[in-house]
Structure 1
Amino acid sequence: MPTYNEAGNLPGMADALMALPLPGLRLLVVDDSSPDGTGDIAERYAERHGRDRMSVLHRAGKEGLGRAYADGMARAVTDGARYVLQMDADGSHPVGKVPALLGTALSTGAAVTIGSRYVQGGTLSDAWGAHRRLLSRWANAYAGTILGTRVRDITGGFNLWREDALRAIDLASVDSAGYSFQVEMKYRAVRRGFGVMEVPIHFEDRTIGESKMNLMVQLESVTMPWKLRARARR
């Protein structure tokens, strides 16, 4: 769970995750030296829930969502995780769906299990206006068409990864620094022949804090599918 200025969201998310009936669950918070003290809050909650169940990876500064995810995933794999779940701290990803993602992965053998907004049964927050809904669907169609995948929610960030898939993808070589990390990771998995399953979720809008999306992140998201396609052809 990457964090940057999520002091208002992290406590509730941490408590909700630790309350799930999954004895093997561990939470790793990856904090980019948040000015609002999120990293310190994460440390206090790690003490409360036990260091064997929750830990914090402190990074020197804000280097992008993609790099935070990659560093956290690499640490989890090194620490022996069989499955690694990536999810945001802002409350948009439903904690209650975590057991369903794991159950689907275990029952189907899927290497990547996606909490999907765009398969049957998936829904979006009522707070999303028409423009935002169209932009999100366009982004998924845009990336999916360029890369030729059948993944319905290729841009989504609520994903469960099997450990061997992460090793095969080689996290250190992933180029994306921002939100295009989601696209690059799924494309790499599909290219390597790993099975992908999508589980419908309700995607909620954040109520506390601000989105980290900016112009540079948007530009990377537009250009990355073309870079990945060109690289695959070479």
Structure 2
Amino acid sequence: MVIPTYNEAENLEWIVDRLRTAQPGVDVMIVDDNSPDGTGRIADTLAANHDAISVVHRSSKEGLGAAYLHGFQVALDAGYDVIGEMDADGSHQPEQLHRLVEALADADLVIGSRYVLGGSIVNWPRSRELLSRGGNLYVRLLIGMPVRDATAGFRLFRRATLEAIDLASVRSTGYVFQTDMTHRVLVAGLRVREVPIEFIERVRGNSKMTGQVAGESLRKITLWGLEERRAAVRRRLVGRRVSRRAS
């Protein structure tokens, strides 16, 4: 499991211990973006005490997507066949990881979803839940993505899935990264499954999601989605021209 961190000193040891207890056979990779609160030092201590824990130190904070892309590539290079992602703040419960593992039997990407039947959110204000649900609805309408929680960050990928979507071509680095990755998997014709999880708002530390970040993500999704629609129209037009010539 790839766990990106930035100023998660209050949470890191706690969440890694929970993950190792819930899934002792799962290796953990902490990707720290040079946290000024000492998160990187805590990660190094954990790695020194456990062979199943490793640390990737990045020189600066470049966004959630950039951290995940770095971690994914390191995991691929190390030969892992299944690569996952989760937050360090406890919002993704390691005790529910088994649901994703079981669903991967007939999927290429499994998403722990807040918005499928059985999924739920704990301790979010109604305004934030409405923003999240609205953002996901907007994505479905804009680019026709048949996924209810495209922005979710509790996931498992098969190695072949990450190889098929060409990580080197992914340019999104912020919170739009999750939506981008989901779309790429679907465009590649691969199988996406959502399983219900209980998402719990962090109780320690500060959330990285603000209204400004959410607004910027929606703007990027809009621009990206409109470009995808234009590209789809161009593909249809080219296809019609080829069909007419062939007939």
TM-score category (smaller protein)? over 0.9
The residue number in structure 2 matching 1:16 is 18
In angstroms, what is the RMSD of aligned CA positions?
Answer: 1.4
Q: Give yes or no for contact 1:22–1:99 (8 Å, CA) kept in 2.
A: no
Q: Taking structure 1 as reference, are residues 63 and 21 closer, same or farther at Cα in structure 2, changes over 3 Å only? A: closer
What is the one-letter code of the residue matched to 1:30? V
Tell me the matched-pair count: 228
What is the one-letter code of the residue matched to 1:46? A
1:5-50 per-position Cα deviation (integer Å, ceiling 9, x unaligned): 0000000111111123442x11000000000000110010111222
Separation in 2, partners of 1:193, 1:224: 21
Give the ranges of 4+ consecutive aligned residues of structure 1 lying more than 3 Å apart after TM superposition. Answer: none
Query: 1:72-151 residue pairs with structure 2 within 5 A?
Result: 72-106=71-105, 108=106, 110-125=107-122, 127-151=123-147
Correspondence for 2:170 among 169, 174, 177: 174
Correspondence for 1:221 among 212, 218, 223: 218
Secondary structure at 2:203 match in 1: coil
Separation in 1, partners of 2:70, 2:91: 22
Separation in 1, partners of 2:190, 2:134: 25
Separation in 1, partners of 2:188, 2:9: 38
Separation in 1, partners of 2:179, 2:140: 9
Q: Give yes or no for contact 1:147–1:225 (8 Å, CA) kept in 2.
A: no
The residue number in structure 2 matching 1:185 is 181
1:202 aligns with 2:198: yes
The structure whose Rg is larger is 2
- How far apart are 1:169 and its partner, in Å? 1.2
Secondary structure at 1:194 match in 2: coil
- How far apart are 1:226 and its partner, in Å? 3.4
- How far apart are 1:228 and its partner, in Å? 4.2
Taking only the aligned residue pairs, the percentage that are identical comes to 44
Unmatched segments (≥5 aa) in structure 1: none
- How far apart are 1:221 and its partner, in Å? 3.4
